[in-house]
Amino acid sequence: MLLQSDIELGLSLVYAGILLYCAWMDLRERRIPNRATLPGIALALVGMFLKPGPGPALLGGSVGLAFFFLPVLIFGPERAGMGDAKLALFVGLILGFPIIIYALAVACVAALVVILPALALRKTTLRSTIPFGPFLALGALVGLLLR
């Protein structure tokens, strides 16, 4: 008989696989595919009834989506991708609130650790775009360990 902890572990492993695939695709193709995020979101909506619970999961998903959808509204989908917004929705649903805040902080700090030296070495400019999916995936994986 499966215990709730076994199901949660299985879900966490599937979530980690989705996150790693999205990070790899964003690095490789500069896009996060719907074929990974949309089923992940659906699975997270089902899984939220185990952990973190519907309330925290929905609030976390809303925070993650808002964090990335606002730049899409401001800069347009050419400079800020909807793939990041959908991935952040997925991350928020699986981590819940307040852990999504920690995951976003880890993602932003990790991105700065990479971007600031690249700017200093003139390998990139302020107008360059970077794939943020790997940083978001890193933050999510750290968040999964915190839950």
Query: What pLDDT, on a 0 to 100 scale, did the predictor assign at position 3?
Result: 82
138 close to 107: Cβ distance less than 8 angstroms: yes
Taking residues 32-38, report their average pLDDT. 97
- Among 55, 62, 111, 114, which Cα is nearest to 88's? 62
- Across all residues in the chain, what is the average pLDDT? 93
Which carries the bigger pLDDT value, residue 146 or residue 43?
A: 43
Sequence length of the chain is 147
Does position 50 have pLDDT exceeding 90, yes or no? Answer: no
Does position 141 have pLDDT exceeding 90, yes or no? Answer: yes
Query: What pLDDT, on a 0 to 100 scale, did the predictor assign at position 126?
Result: 83
72 close to 35: Cβ distance less than 8 angstroms: no
Query: What pLDDT, on a 0 to 100 scale, did the predictor assign at position 89?
Result: 98
Taking residues 73-77, report their average pLDDT. 80
pTM for the full predicted model? 0.93
- Ordered by start, the domain boundaries in the chain are 4-146
Does position 1 have pLDDT exceeding 90, yes or no? Answer: no
33 close to 82: Cβ distance less than 8 angstroms: no
